[in-house]
Amino acid sequence: MILKNSLFYGKIRQRLTGADAQQSRSSIHEKEDLFSHLPVNVTNDGVDIYDGLSGYFDDIVDFEGRKARMEVTLVELPPVLQIQLQVFDHFSLSNLFKRS
């Protein structure tokens, strides 16, 4: 287990701040966490890996009932960085298999 952790796990920092000019730019919430892969969303037409990575590291999310900007920073990179391309979303996949 120690070898697996040292090869495939790194550390990220997630920081939430106000999403618009009316909200404060001070940090709302910040935490560090271990990660084993980067989930990159490329489900929409015209979205490539670069757009997906950009969206992973800087995105607008809902936090406690309001919009917040989430910024992700890589604190420690693992020796083996895994990127998981998410090319299907649950709803389009479930609709694909529904019978009329």
Which residue would you say has higher pLDDT here, 17 or 96? 17
DSSP bridge partners of 10: 35
- What are the residue ranges spanned by the domains of the chain? 2-96
Confidence at residue 86, expressed as pLDDT on a 0 to 100 scale: 85
Tokens representing 66?
Answer: 């309001």
Question: What's the whole-model pTM score?
Answer: 0.69
| For range 70-94, the mean pLDDT | 83
Confidence at residue 9, expressed as pLDDT on a 0 to 100 scale: 94
pLDDT tens string 11-64 = 999 999 986 655 555 557 899 999 999 999 888 778 888 998 998 999 998 888
